[in-house]
Amino acid sequence: MNIVLFPSLVRYALAATCLVLMVATVLAVRRGKGGLGAALGVLSLLSGGALAAEALVALTVRLAAPGATEFNEYRWVMLAPWGRLGLALGGGAVIAIVALSWRASRGAPAWRRATMIGLRAGAAVGALVVFLEPAVELRQVAREPNRIAVLIDDSKSMALSESTTGPTRIERARQLLTASGGALAAWEANHKVDYYTFSETISPTSLAALASNQAQGKATLFRKALELVRARYEGRDLAGVVMISDGVSTGGFTEDSGDGAMRDFLRSLETRVHTVWAARKGLKDIAVAKVMADEFAFVRTVVRIDAVIRTTGLPARQVPVTLSTDGQPLRQKMVDFPGGDHDVTVTFEVTPPRVGRYVYEVSVPIAPNEAVTSNNTRSFVIRVIRDKIRVLQVAGQPGWDVRSLRQMLKSNSNVDLISFFILRTQDDISLVPNDEMSLIPFPTRELFEHQLPSFDLIILQDFEYLPYGIGDYLENIRSYVEGGGGLVMLGGAASFTSGGYYGTPVAAALPVELYGPFDSGPVVDTQKFSPQLTEAGQMHPVTSLRYSADDNVAAWKTLPQLEGVNLVASVKPEGTVLAQHPRLRTKAGKPMPVIIAAEYGKGRSLAVTTDTLWKWGFGAAARPGDNGRQYTKFWENAMSWLIQDPVLRNLHVDSDAVEYGPNAPVRVTVRLLGRDYQPLAGGVVSLTVRRGADPSSAEEVSAAKLAVGEDGTVVHELGGLAPGVYRIEGHAAIAGRQVDANDIFLVREGGSELDRPVGDAATLESIAKASGGQALGAVDTLPSDLAFDPPRIVRVDRRTDVELWSRPGLLLLIIGLLGLEWLLRQRSGYL
């Protein structure tokens, strides 16, 4: 066993320093710089003396303990009771002695001055050794090898390659371990090496098993992996950790904690973590990195969606960014991306037309040689709710029907009503200017261009559009209905054909065909009549004054007569006649429609060809035993149907969340209510689950028939669902009426492992630095001299102390050094 004071590198440095200083001393003396030469000479003697001291110590140990070779460990001890304070005071005394010797030897030749100072310094150091009483403790110990844990990242990002011809990261890790056989063998001389793979958790493995690992982990949790490894070993049984990874951490290394907490955690491991970066530069990727949108939104209110698009390693290019829903593009923007690594935020604005859940998707096209394609799309869910029903009522002139409808809407606390009335038409004779007769100017552009999407329902009541400059905005109204809005046109002298709507965009959204300007015959009939329910109208939500068909027909027969109706040419194929005239006929010989409903695009429209529905309220209330409630009930039904309000549905199908992880259980609650809106115990509901963003091409994945319990509900659980958009469709029959309900939810990809696939060497460097390990970077082989904690001592068989300070030779050395210095000073005349 060799006793050394200095590591090999320091020993070589001292020897080289001694030689260099000797040469520098000679040069300084030749140039007449005696002071500098003396200083360099002293330093040269000190460095040489340090090497001599190490040799003397080794010699002393060998002489004092002839069996030192039987010991396998040693350590330095200080027997004096002074501790660190004594060491500090003794060191200060040595420095003071050397300084005084330097001052006292001024004027002496450089070599002689350096020698005198060196001799006194050596004597002072010898006295310090006696003062501190150092010793070498020799021990013969038995050690149990501790363990080195090699962690290999096998998450999905390790399956990536930075080029089409290069190895994947997991293959690079395998090649590294294969090429490091010599280093691993050197480690195993004093340690045992354990191998683990890690992603969401850690799993023991071997070099043979690693050869078939395909790196399919769904997350990279550095902290969890280190915690689990640390928990497997007690104290110093863990010599150290070698972590091989690309540095792509799921959610950041600290998993929602700060940098300070990360450093504290790594220090608490009490072991070194050496890191190896398995990734390389050159990866190409374009990804939808993040989508920022509110979880809730109000119907028919603009929603802002911010998407962060991240490019990595790609040249400058223009990329289309698309926002889709139901598998159909909704918005698209062309975005210019500079070359390199950049994040660009793209903003979309959409207006949800109906209450419910909407699944949107932001996508970018796949780039050439792109490493990851699964992050080119990102789906998210927005829940659309209704604050109030926002209604725009535009009336051509005051009247009983206009007043009744406005009063009913204003009295409804759930309605936000905006009403505009034309109090004076262009045909009225006036002796004053128009601007003095108007209460406010008609806000045509603001209503029908800027504010139109914010309304849930538009009511055009006896309104002629031509005199008020609205013709240019009729296309906006049609688009509004097609996009999901609701439209009602009521009869009157300025409605339908009489209002000049034939051939206009609004006429396209109505459920009836209007008479043209060249059609002969009247367009209005003023006779009294009682509208008759059609077969469809007996069960339609708009005309259901009672739930059952028989009760509903009876209720309609008790309603007061109406007076006057606008005549229409026919009903469109998509229109549904709910009530018709008992006597009048269309040109085709069919009964003249009075109340007609239709779907138009994603919206709905309703035509009421009379302007005397107010009689159901005011007129009916004048009769004994009638409160006129049927008028309010009709319009409440009509509004609910037009805005597609889900609240009044008898069947409800709701998943317990809007987003799920892969293979997570999905609980669907089905609730069935009878015609009296009470739980329908024992009712049967057909439930179908389809997968696909586009409803027209969604594939069926599950179907079941469910019987609800006494409380009208049943919970159905779905499991094992792959990532994607899922639609639930429910169907049931109540009193002969078909009722439907649907819901939508999203199953996400597992984790965010590939959201940012570029390797991150900085994360690995921070782990190594904070734990006291070494960040090796992108190496091809592991070094054999990595620092690990030594094996744990099991027992100490022998121990002996070699006291360096009590040797007679040390005393003689001190006396000799002082004698030589005294002799040299005497001969130099410095005594």
Closest CA to 749 of 380, 384, 383: 380
* Residue predicted with more confidence, 752 or 366: 366
Closest CA to 581 of 670, 520, 491, 663: 491
Closest CA to 191 of 787, 818, 815: 787
Range name among 117-126, 338-347, 611-620, 790-799 with the lowest pLDDT average: 790-799
- Residue appearing with tokens 């005071």: 89
How sure is the predictor about 25, in pLDDT bands with cuts at 50, 70 and 90? confident
Residue 70, number of CB atoms within 10 A of its CB = 12
Q: Give the 3-state secondary structure of residue 52.
A: helix
Assign domain 285-385 to its CATH architecture.
Sandwich (2.60)
Cα–Cα distance measured from residue 820 to residue 828, given in angstroms and rounded to the nearest whole number: 12
Q: Tell me yes or no: is domain 146-282+759-777 CATH 3.40.50.410.
A: yes
Q: Which helix (H) or strand (E) holds 771?
A: helix 761-771
Enumerate the CATH 3.40.50.880 domain ranges in the chain, comma separated.
Answer: 389-642
* pLDDT, position 256: 46
Query: Which residues, including other chains, have CB under 8 Å from residue 30's CB and lie 6 or more apart?
Result: none
How sure is the predictor about 258, in pLDDT bands with cuts at 50, 70 and 90? low
* pLDDT, position 228: 92
∠ CA(55), CA(61), CA(63), 5° rounding? 100
Cα–Cα distance measured from residue 161 to residue 176, given in angstroms and rounded to the nearest whole number: 16
Residue 433 has pLDDT above 60, yes or no: no
Q: What is the DSSP string of 124-191?
A: HHHHHHHHH-EEEEEEEEEEE-EEEEEEEE-BGGGG-BSSSSSPBHHHHHHHHHHHTHHHHHHHTTTE
* pLDDT, position 429: 45
* pLDDT, position 431: 45
Query: What is the per-residue pLDDT across 809-818, written as a single tens digit (0 to 9) for each?
Result: 767 877 887 7
Residue 115 has pLDDT above 60, yes or no: yes
Closest CA to 754 of 152, 159, 153: 159
Residue spans of beta strands (DSSP E) within 692-820: 699-707, 713-718, 724-734, 737-747, 775-777, 792-803
Most confident of 129-138, 367-376, 608-617, 639-648: 608-617
Mean pLDDT of the chain: 85
Query: What is the per-residue pLDDT across 54-112, written as a single tens digit (0 to 9) for each?
Result: 676 776 666 666 665 666 666 777 778 887 888 888 888 888 887 887 777 777 777 77
* pLDDT, position 255: 47
How sure is the predictor about 171, in pLDDT bands with cuts at 50, 70 and 90? very high
Query: What is the per-residue pLDDT across 210-252, written as a single tens digit (0 to 9) for each?
Result: 988 888 888 888 989 999 999 998 766 899 999 999 998 885 5
CA 452 from centroid of its chain's CA atoms: 35
Tokens of 652: 């409800």
Q: What is the CATH number of domain 648-747?
A: 2.60.40.1930
pTM higher than 0.75 for the full model? no
* pLDDT, position 344: 94
* pLDDT, position 438: 46
The mean per-residue pLDDT over the stretch 492-504 comes to 93
Beta strands 356-363 and 377-385, pairing class: antiparallel
How sure is the predictor about 116, in pLDDT bands with cuts at 50, 70 and 90? confident
Cα–Cα distance measured from residue 650 to residue 740, given in angstroms and rounded to the nearest whole number: 8
Beta strands 296-298 and 317-325, pairing class: unpaired
Query: What is the per-residue pLDDT across 752-802, written as a single tens digit (0 to 9) for each?
Result: 777 788 888 999 999 999 999 999 999 999 999 999 988 865 556 677 777
* pLDDT, position 442: 64
Residue 679 has pLDDT above 60, yes or no: yes
* pLDDT, position 748: 84
Mind spelling out the 3-state secondary structure of 632-652? Answer: HHHHHHHHHHHCCCHHHCCEE
Enumerate the CATH 2.60.40.1930 domain ranges in the chain, comma separated.
Answer: 648-747
How sure is the predictor about 427, in pLDDT bands with cuts at 50, 70 and 90? low
Enumerate the CATH 3.40.50.410 domain ranges in the chain, comma separated.
Answer: 146-282+759-777
Burial of 385 (0-12, 13-18, 19+ CB in 10 A): exposed
Q: What is the DSSP string of 218-262?
A: S---HHHHHHHHHHHS-GGGEEEEEEEE----TTTTTTS--HHHH
How sure is the predictor about 193, in pLDDT bands with cuts at 50, 70 and 90? very high
Share of the chain above pLDDT 90, in %: 43
Cα–Cα distance measured from residue 346 to residue 348, given in angstroms and rounded to the nearest whole number: 7
How sure is the predictor about 466, in pLDDT bands with cuts at 50, 70 and 90? confident
* pLDDT, position 254: 47
Residue 11 has pLDDT above 90, yes or no: no
Residue 740 has pLDDT above 50, yes or no: yes
Q: Tell me yes or no: is domain 389-642 CATH 3.30.70.3280.
A: no
* Residue predicted with more confidence, 620 or 277: 277
Range name among 24-38, 265-279, 350-364, 451-465 with the lowest pLDDT average: 24-38
* pLDDT, position 430: 47
Enumerate the CATH 2.60.40.10 domain ranges in the chain, comma separated.
Answer: 285-385
768 contacts 275 by C-beta, under 8 angstroms: yes
Closest CA to 452 of 425, 480, 431, 432: 480
* Residue predicted with more confidence, 655 or 15: 655
